[in-house]
Amino acid sequence: MNLKFKNWWDKASPEEVERHQSKLLQKLITTRVAPFSKYYREMFEREGIDPASIQSTDDLVRLPFTFKRDLGETKDFVIVPEKEVLQRQSGTFLKMLRHGPRGVKKVLEDELRPIFMTSTTGRSSAPVPFLYTQQDIAILEESGRRLMEMCGATPDFKIVNAFPFAPHLAFWQAHYAGTGDNKFTLSTGGGKVMGTSGNVEVIAKIQPDAIIAMPTFLYHLLQKAAEGKQRWPNLKRLVLGGEKVPEGMRRKLRTFCAELGADKVDILSTYAFTEAKMAWAECAAAEGEESAGFHLYPDLSIIEVVDPNTGERVPDGHPGEIVYTPLQSRGSIVLRYRTGDLIEGGIVRDLCPICGRTCPRLVGKISRVSDIHRLNIGKLKGTLVDFNQLENLLDDTEGLGAWQLELRKENDDPLDLDEIIIHAVPMDCKQATLAENIRQKLKNATELSPNDIRFYDWKTMRKMQGVGKELKEKKVIDNRPK
Ligand SMILES: [Zn+2]
């Protein structure tokens, strides 16, 4: 692979980052996106924008956003080179001088030929496939290597990847983190392939230093292992992905680890989406220490934070929607992609207080705009409800292990009143106390009161949420007759 990664990503000052990014952006747009992406070639024409006039990260704001709904014809987003145009480019000529006529063919194929694909999970909309070339795989390995670095992984680290086998970024990012960082990795396929007990057995044999998994499954796994009086004293890191990780969940995971004989375990969560083709991680924060946010890779992508209503960039440290533009990707590419994810503390560019890296960070909780839109509910029981807020609220409720929120209509009559039922698993907490906690929290923040709170054990809840079957847990269910 011809691509070399820069070592400035976590050392450069904001001004240096800006300069490097502007150069990379200019090159990407003029030599690859504008000539070879059908969607963006048409966009530049339609908008009357000269691609060469996009010279800096500030010029990016002149490009229209790309929304999820624009991804209908996903093949239009793939970089498909035209031979004649490619041959005329000065970059191709330079490559020819460096690698010779046969070498240049291989270099260009590695850069441009799609060989791999991941897909969105498509819970309620059609799956969106995203293509990778060798260059994208190299980037995936590099973001995986950085994830390991952030994890403080030493050369002898052994890793268990317990994400479900799927054409899904989470699984493949974990896999390529192992190959990219040259670490022993076993992918178990999660609960579906060898069952929870199979996972417990193989982990007992391998005694990994780190486990990468979805939080709900990992919780289940550690619980089973603790019940079975397993000893996993070598375990040092839990790396979580695929869903949000409430503070209560982190506490409980640490407790299980202590029962397993692993008393110093750092917990890192990651942030990713299919269209980014990479994942970002927190640096390891000690117990009780607040997370310093997701560390971004400024040589690989530009992240903007914008006001979700006006689309204007917000100042650093302000909440807004995460917008993504790659800098070195090939295959499928989206520019100024509106993720639909809201970041509570915005983007910051000062030194990380924990690790001292200078890369930009996304701080605070992330909630999905898209979940509300998908459910298409704003009004519940006559009150306007912010479902993101509701979700964060329940995630943070003391003593609430897992939950599912069900919306119904009284008597199953479409015209009757809305009903809210909260299905809950208590965690170190009496049912009555938990019910009171939930009612109080909801009342204080939203003025909503649930019609019923029902209690379950973990096993039943996992079934209800589709753990092991679905790639994302079903946490909000709309059972109102249409
Ligand atoms: Zn840090």
Same domain, yes or no, for 390 and 430?
Answer: yes
Round to whole Å and give the CA distance between 330 and 421. Answer: 46
Q: Could you tell me the two tokens for 132?
A: 């990778």
Round to whole Å and give the CA distance between 440 and 405. Answer: 16
> Among 87-96, 390-399, 447-456, which range has the highest average pLDDT?
87-96
Residue 266 covered by a domain: yes
Same domain, yes or no, for 239 and 103?
Answer: no
Distance 195 CA to ligand 1 centre (A): 35
Out of 114, 145, 165, a domain closes at 114
Per residue in 345-382, pLDDT (tens digit) is 999 999 999 999 999 999 998 887 654 444 434 556 66
Q: What is the pLDDT of residue 369?
A: 67
Distance 221 CA to ligand 1 centre (A): 28
Out of 348, 368, 388, a domain closes at 368
Same domain, yes or no, for 286 and 139?
Answer: yes
Q: What pLDDT band is residue 42 in, cutting at 50, 70 and 90?
A: very high
Q: What is the pLDDT of residue 125?
A: 61
Residue 380 covered by a domain: yes
Q: What is the pLDDT of residue 374?
A: 42
Per residue in 236-257, pLDDT (tens digit) is 999 998 666 777 788 889 999 9
Distance 295 CA to ligand 1 centre (A): 7
Same domain, yes or no, for 140 and 227?
Answer: yes
Same domain, yes or no, for 221 and 95?
Answer: no
Residue 122 covered by a domain: no
Distance 328 CA to ligand 1 centre (A): 23
* 401 or 174, which is more confident: 174
Nearest to 32 by CA among 94, 112, 100, 97: 112
Same domain, yes or no, for 60 and 24?
Answer: yes
* 377 or 448, which is more confident: 448
Distance 194 CA to ligand 1 centre (A): 35
Per residue in 182-233, pLDDT (tens digit) is 999 999 999 888 999 999 999 999 999 999 998 888 988 999 999 999 999 9
Distance 16 CA to ligand 1 centre (A): 19
Same domain, yes or no, for 268 and 336?
Answer: yes
CATH, residue 461: 3.30.300.30
Confidence (pTM) = 0.82
Distance 292 CA to ligand 1 centre (A): 6
Per residue in 91-141, pLDDT (tens digit) is 999 999 999 988 999 999 999 999 999 987 655 567 889 999 999 999 999
Distance 153 CA to ligand 1 centre (A): 15
Same domain, yes or no, for 345 and 201?
Answer: yes
* 288 or 426, which is more confident: 426
Out of 74, 90, 114, a domain closes at 114
The domain tally of the chain equals 3
Round to whole Å and give the CA distance between 366 and 289. Answer: 19
Same domain, yes or no, for 355 and 376?
Answer: no
Round to whole Å and give the CA distance between 150 and 355. Answer: 9
Distance 438 CA to ligand 1 centre (A): 34
Domain range for 90:
14-114
**Please, what is the end-to-end C-alpha distance for the chain in angstroms?**
54
Least confident of 350-354, 372-376, 399-403, 455-459: 372-376
- What value does the mean pLDDT of the chain take? 89
Q: What pLDDT band is residue 458 in, cutting at 50, 70 and 90?
A: confident
Distance 236 CA to ligand 1 centre (A): 18
> For residue 217, how many C-alpha atoms fall within 13 Å in the half-sphere facing its CB?
31
Residue 7 covered by a domain: no
Same domain, yes or no, for 354 and 403?
Answer: no
Same domain, yes or no, for 386 and 413?
Answer: yes
Distance 353 CA to ligand 1 centre (A): 7
Residue 120 covered by a domain: no
